[in-house]
Amino acid sequence: MTGDTTGDGEFSEFEERVGLTLDPARPDAVEKRHSSGGRTARENLDDLIDPGSFVEYGRFAIASQRSRRELDDLIRKTPADGLVAGTARVNGDLFGEEGSACAVLSYDYTVLAGTQGHLGHRKKDRLFDLIERMNLPTVFFAEGGGGRPGDTDIPVVSALEVPAFALWAGLSGKVPRIAVVHGRCFAGNAVIAGCSDLIVATESSSIGMGGPAMISGGGLGEVTPDEVGPSSMQSGNGVIDVLVADEAEAVEVTKRLLSFFQGPIAPGKAPDQSSLRDVVPEGARRAFDPMPIIRTLADEDTVVLLRESFAPEMVTAFGRLEGRPVGFIANDSRHMAGAITSDAADKASRFLQLCDSFGIAVVSLVDTPGMMVGPEHEATGLVRHTSRLLIAGAAIDVPLLAVVTRRSYGLGAQAMMGGGTHEPLLTVAWPGANLGPMGLEGAVRLALRDELAKIEDEAEREERVRELTAAAEKNARAINAATLFEIDDVIDPADTRRVLCSTLAAAGPPPRSGRFVDAW
């Protein structure tokens, strides 16, 4: 027998059902979404993935509510059970078909407010299993209202046996996962975002472990959805890694972030390196922005800052050096003088874990007076938090390269270098840098406390402190540390990029530890 085994009627029904899964079949829902300033799930995915590469899973699934709604109504109004998911290629223009394979998932806010339905959970379980088996980087658009109590087709008491969250959390360290959040993201949806390696969120996002109904039901007051976890809060406290204006920018940033985990690309253009000779101001007390250093060292237009508003005394960013993905950590003397606070240590520690887990080398730009001190900061659990940075640095297997740009004092400096100046593959300093076991003025006051106490005139005593500190600074110069081989070299700042790139080339491809990455 020859010919088509599918009857015309069956094929027509198939085409009709396919059409009902797409946005044009629900113009009212799409218009409502657009009028609120948002894009549909499929519009975001179309913007993210390479054309023609999407293989969808479970597109004919519908909400498990047949006992209380007509089947035709469910087919027309709950396509894909509110979760569009499958495999695709992202950044194929950079990495080709094989190197750009990804998993992509998106809750559909136009379907029951993006809530998590019974078949949606099963679909996630299926995808999460495939993600691990196929080793696929993953992007998940997580907007939605959490669990869906309206599904009635299956007997449920607690639903606590749902494996989706354990499966998703278990992917930590195995594949890179980026969550994108626009609008409201509560409860289970928020956990999907929170378990991810990176969260990109729009300014109109609100992320919280419980939405207004849960808050009210718990007797915790009445709040609007936008008051639960607004982006201004969640970017300042470190929940959001990159804050963007809208979904279009979110997709653009997500593609850039994903590319760092996808590997090296062709070398990018190098900025003029001579500007590095003048970027650090004279005088140890003058604050400066370290970002011009990072942007000058990295290939042009490759730097993406993470957690910019959280613990600004510590900078964490991705970039590229001659096409290689690298992570940058740096002290920012404009905040807390660049000292290592509890939040700064958490921020850098987690970033080191992320880079180590996925084989991304790290460049540390050191300009710190040391660990933060004082009763106010000890109340934050400083001893444990700052020690975390030392543990994280000691544990990484990827290349760590350290550049002392100005001040390198005490345990804080050691923590920035994986535990000490000989722990990185290379530790170099710029000519104007100083290194010491603690802040030099503090060292003078401590070591010569008795001598200074004998000087009764306060002005004279402070002048003596300045003289002794100046002498200590001369002794602490980087060139003196290099003379005793406490560091590997003192270099021309304009030569830093070449030195870093040559060392990374000698080190070879960074290993992947595959260790899990803390959510925090």
Indicate if 389 and 465 belong to the same structural domain: no
Q: What is the CATH number of the domain that holds 45?
A: 3.90.226.10
Distance in angstroms (rounded) separating the CA atoms of residues 284 and 405? 11
User: Which residues contact residue 232 at a Cβ distance below 8 angstroms, ignoring those fewer than 6 apart?
Assistant: none
Indicate if 46 and 167 belong to the same structural domain: yes
Distance in angstroms (rounded) separating the CA atoms of residues 208 and 186? 5
**CA terminus-to-terminus distance, the chain:** 62
Q: Per residue in 37-86, pLDDT tens? A: 999 999 999 999 999 999 999 999 999 898 889 999 899 999 999 999 99
Indicate if 47 and 99 belong to the same structural domain: yes
The structure tokens listed for 79 are: 């396509």
User: Which residues contact residue 217 at a Cβ distance below 8 angstroms, ignoring those fewer than 6 apart?
Assistant: none
Q: Does 513 map to a domain?
A: no
Distance in angstroms (rounded) separating the CA atoms of residues 453 and 332? 34
The helix (H) or strand (E) run that includes residue 387 is: helix 382-395
Q: Does 447 map to a domain?
A: yes
Tracing tokens 């929170």 back to the chain, one arrives at 194
Distance of CA 288 to CAs 67, 181, 335, 497, Å?
65, 33, 10, 20
Indicate if 233 and 335 belong to the same structural domain: no
Q: Does 96 map to a domain?
A: yes
Q: How far is CA 418 from the centre of its chain?
A: 20
What's this model's pTM, rounded to 2 decimal places? 0.93
CB 390 within 8 A of CB 415: yes
Indicate if 486 and 472 belong to the same structural domain: no
Reference 389, options 366, 405, 412; nearest CA is 412
**Domain end (from 228, 261, 294):** 261
- What does DSSP say about strands 206-208 and 184-186: parallel, antiparallel, or unpaired? parallel
Sheet of 138-141, strand order: 55-57, 83-89, 101-107, 138-141, 177-181, 198-202, 242-244
Domain boundaries, position 15 = 10-261
What pLDDT shows up at residue 440?
Answer: 60
Indicate if 110 and 196 belong to the same structural domain: yes
The structure tokens listed for 53 are: 């590469």
CB 256 within 8 A of CB 301: no
Q: Does 252 map to a domain?
A: yes
Reference 59, options 111, 20, 90, 91; nearest CA is 20
Helix/strand/coil for 128: helix
Q: Per residue in 287-329, pLDDT tens? A: 999 999 999 999 999 999 999 999 999 999 999 999 999 999 9
How many domains does the chain contain in total? 3
**Domain end (from 261, 290, 320):** 261
DSSP string, 471-482: HHHHHTBHHHHH
Q: Does 4 map to a domain?
A: no
Q: Tell me, what DSSP letter sits at residue 40?
A: -
Distance in angstroms (rounded) separating the CA atoms of residues 187 and 225? 12
CB 290 within 8 A of CB 337: no
Reference 103, options 193, 185, 177; nearest CA is 177
**Domain end (from 239, 261, 283):** 261
Distance in angstroms (rounded) separating the CA atoms of residues 222 and 189? 21
DSSP string, 437-469: SS-HHHHHHHHTHHHHHT---HHHHHHHHHHHH
Indicate if 301 and 416 belong to the same structural domain: yes
- Spans in the chain with pLDDT lower than 50: 1-2
Tracing tokens 């495939």 back to the chain, one arrives at 130
- What does DSSP say about strands 324-331 and 361-368: parallel, antiparallel, or unpaired? parallel
Q: Does 516 map to a domain?
A: no
Amino acid 455 reads I
Q: Does 172 map to a domain?
A: yes
Indicate if 103 and 56 belong to the same structural domain: yes
Indicate if 137 and 155 belong to the same structural domain: yes
Indicate if 319 and 364 belong to the same structural domain: yes
User: Which residues contact residue 207 at a Cβ distance below 8 angstroms, ignoring those fewer than 6 apart?
Assistant: 181, 185, 186, 190, 193, 199, 201, 228, 229, 231, 234, 239, 240
Indicate if 239 and 139 belong to the same structural domain: yes
The structure tokens listed for 415 are: 């923590």
How many CB atoms neighbour CB 14 within 10 A? 12
Q: How far is CA 435 from the centre of its chain?
A: 31
What pLDDT shows up at residue 447?
Answer: 62
The structure tokens listed for 286 are: 């003058």
Q: Does 103 map to a domain?
A: yes
What pLDDT shows up at residue 234?
Answer: 97
Indicate if 355 and 496 belong to the same structural domain: yes
